[in-house]
Amino acid sequence: MPTGLARSVAIVAAAPAVEGLILEPDALIDLESPLWDSAPFTAFLLGRSDIDDVSLTTPLPGVTVLSATPITATEAAWVRLKGADAMRDAWQQDGVDVLDPSRPAARPS
C-alpha cells in the first residue's frame, strides 16, 4: 500500500462522525493534499459499488458500499463545476482507466 493512503482512507471514514459529512454516491471528498506520497490525486469521488448493499438486523439500517475513485485537483474542480456524471463521461470519452494509480488526469472540455 502506498505510504499515506491508509491515512487518507481513515480521514474519509471518520468524516461523517467528525464533520457530519454524508457519504453518498457523487459526493466529492477533497483532502487538498496528496492521497499518498507523490500522488497526483487530492480527492475522492464516491460512486455506486458493484458490491450489494448489506442488510442488517432490525432496527439497524442497511449499509451501502460505495466506490472511492481518486481524482486530481483539476478533476475535483470539474466535478464542482459540472457534476460527477460529467466527470465520469469525460473519463469514458478520454479512455481513462480510473483504477490505474499512474493514470493521467482527464482533460474535460
Closest Cα to residue 41, out of 97, 101, 106, 109? Answer: 101
φ/ψ of 41, rounded to 5, equals -95, 135
Domain assignment present for 19: yes
Domain assignment present for 100: no
Half-sphere exposure (Cβ direction) of 50: Cα atoms closer than 13 Å: 0
Domain assignment present for 88: yes
H/E element, 88: helix 84-94
Least confident of 13-22, 29-38, 81-90: 13-22
Domain assignment present for 55: yes
Domain assignment present for 101: no
pLDDT > 70 fraction of the chain, expressed in percent and rounded: 94
82 or 108: which leads in pLDDT = 82
Domain assignment present for 102: no
Query: What value does the mean pLDDT of the chain take?
Result: 89
Domain assignment present for 85: yes
At 4 the pLDDT is 86
Predicted TM-score (pTM) of this structure: 0.83
Q: Is the pLDDT of residue 105 over 70?
A: no
Per residue in 3-26, pLDDT tens? 888 898 898 888 887 888 888 999
Written as nine digits, the cell of 76 is 475535483
- How many domains, the chain? 1
In terms of residue numbers, what domain contains 87?
A: 5-94
Domain assignment present for 103: no
83 contact partners, CB below 8 Å, separation of at least 6: 26
